[in-house]
Amino acid sequence: MPEEIYTTLTKTFTEKFGQAPAHRFFSPGRINLIGEHTDYNGGYVFPAAITLGTYGVAANRTDNLVKLYSLNFADQGVIEFDINDTNHLPHGSWGNFVKGVIIAMRGFMNEFDHGFELVISGDLPNASGLSSSSSLELLIGVVLKRLFNLPIPRLQMVVSGQLAENGFVGVNTGIMDQFAVGFGEKDKAIYMDANSLDYQMVPVELGDYVIVIMNTNKRRELADSKYNERVAQTQEALHRLQQKFDIVALGKIDPATFDANTALIGDEILIKRARHAVYENERTKEAVSILKAGDLVEFGKLLNASHESLKTDYAVTGIELDTLAETAQQVPGCLGARMTGAGFGGTAIALVHKDAVEELEKTVGERYTTVVGYAPSFYVASIGDGAKALD
């Protein structure tokens, strides 16, 4: 499939710009294996880059023009601007991500003395929770590094992606997504302290099992408002616990201590929200040890427990994600399934034996269509490398 994509990209590039591209690039999406809504609660996350993502071909220009074209947003046509122009493009233009990364990287004293041409295509569904925006940002980073021969560290590209999204595009996100897309490695997940960014690469050896991404095909309209609400609720729970404990985040308290002191919080909803943050952080720690030991059955049980907590205590799933995950959990050959991402739509993941993938897609697809009224989508994605130039 990738070779077909690059063939199409090269043909389109030549048609649009009158020359052949000089370089090929790929930037992955990401899944979070476990550790959901723990990042802003000072806990651990466990993301991995996947083999779906954003593909690009590019070449330098001799003037200062930047020309962009996306096969996914063909209706926007060729986007064009001067590389030194810092004004926003029209709202909704994907070119704002490109501009944002250029501006952010210029802030690190990188110089851009000419323009370039870029054609991209992606196989990450939009609004699916697979970090299509971070994938694009890191693609731009590796494009700029190659075209302008920039001697920059990987972390600078990661930070530039986050700065572009927060400061120029105007979407408030943490750094986990860009970090996973930038630092991903084949068959490894990133066990990262969301506070300090200390991390280690953990082998994920699945043997005869694969990760199936199950897309609700529902846009996450409620995610932003509910996300902010959950942040506020967990921060209030933390504030009440701090009357007794010298902790900076919920991720710094263990489950036994939490359970013994819920009276300090004194509100059932806040207790449930905080309980998820505390226990999910513990599950993430356990998952690392379990995967290092190669115990996929126990890892699957953690996935199921994570989903139940996200449903019952954190209340961020909904009928779509519950139908996907809970139906998948009952399919023979599936070791575990959970929602991933912010929730209220987006995607779930299932750990499934390769011989059971077809049955899972059939069973889950039929049940979901009956309950929800339209079909989900399925993708089998391996854990792959981070963003890179391919030549």
**Active-site annotation, residues:** 177
Residue 289's φ and ψ, nearest 5 degrees, are: -65, -40
The Cα-based distances of 237 to 125, 257, 285, 296, 380 in angstroms read 35, 14, 22, 34, 38
Longest Cα–Cα distance of the chain, Å, equals 69
Residue 303 contacts by C-beta under 8 Å, 6 or more apart in sequence? 33, 34, 335, 336, 337, 338, 349, 351
Spatial separation of the C-alpha atoms in residues 139 and 122, rounded to whole Å:
11
- The number of helix segments (H) and strand segments (E) in the chain equals 11, 13
Angle between helices 319-329 and 296-312 (to 10 degrees): 150
Spatial separation of the C-alpha atoms in residues 72 and 12, rounded to whole Å:
12
Q: Tell me how long the chain is.
A: 391
Burial of 184 (0-12, 13-18, 19+ CB in 10 A): buried
Spatial separation of the C-alpha atoms in residues 240 and 265, rounded to whole Å:
5
